Amino acid sequence: MPLFSSLLPSAASAYGLQTALALIFVPQADEKFYDLGGALGFVSTSFISLYYPSLKARFWEGNTAVKIPAFTSFAPRQILLNAALVAWSARLGSFLVTRALKAGGDSRFDEVKHQPAKFTAFWMAQATWVLFVGLPVYMVNTLPSAAHPPLRSLDYVSAALFAGSWLFEIVADHQKTKWRRAKENKDHDEKFITTGLWGISRHPNYVGEVGLWTGIWLLSVRSLRTPYFPRVAWVIAGLSPLMTWTLLRNVSGVPPLEKAGDKKYGHDPKWHEYKRSV
């Protein structure tokens, strides 16, 4: 199977949607829907990668005899992976856009959104993120349903890893939202959250994020090791959790949050103790 050519529809979907969104929101200097755009990118690219053969045959080649297959007609592995990706995208996208709308914007873009070239580059970077992090799902979707190996023990463990990590992320976000609401209502005067999952990790939501993408990748491995793919296909798909970890640990996740925390609470001994012990 020509791996890279089979991924062209996915790449076109990922970059096409983010380009369209950039054309709308860059002139307006509006960043509030940036994260929602990322979530929609995952959903639309998953759909295109799964349905591209039938969509091409029916609408491009004009073969009206070709029917759009029901979602339940795909292989169990494809159903699990796509359902996981869509569920994660819907939950995180709605959570982040709600937060941005409530806050009146996203502080990450306070300066960048007024620089059209740089703001556009952020949208293109998001397209790259959508493409590479979603690789395990898009690659599995290019394999005909009948060619997928049956689910085995490792696959169920992988699905459990996704579910547990996703729940971990949801609980962490819920705990911080609840903590912020309580602070707004003056129920406490804590400067930063140290309770719940935030008492065992300074970034538990990121721990969940890396874990769930690791689960998605592991669930894709058996299909990606079939003769239909190059031998290195499953390794290439491993870019998904690796890129997630790299971005969160070294680029857009931990560093700016730690820097902001040091700026706000650097004079507070409790902050230094929190950083030392958690």
Q: Each residue of 258-277: pLDDT tens digit?
A: 998 999 998 999 999 999 99
The confidence score (pLDDT) of residue 79 equals 98
* Interatomic CA distance for residues 273 and 271, integer angstroms: 5
Residue 229 dihedral angles phi and psi, to the nearest 5°: -115, 155
Helix %, strand %, coil % of the chain (to 5): 75, 0, 25
The confidence score (pLDDT) of residue 66 equals 84
Q: Are the CB atoms for 155 and 219 separated by under 8 Å? A: yes
* Interatomic CA distance for residues 188 and 191, integer angstroms: 9
Each residue's pLDDT tens digit, 185-234: 999 999 999 999 999 999 999 999 999 999 999 999 999 999 999 999 99
162: tokens are 């996704």
The confidence score (pLDDT) of residue 240 equals 97
258: tokens are 């730690």
The list of the chain residues with pLDDT below 70 reads: 1
The confidence score (pLDDT) of residue 1 equals 54
The confidence score (pLDDT) of residue 5 equals 85
Neighbours of 252 (CB within 10 A): 14
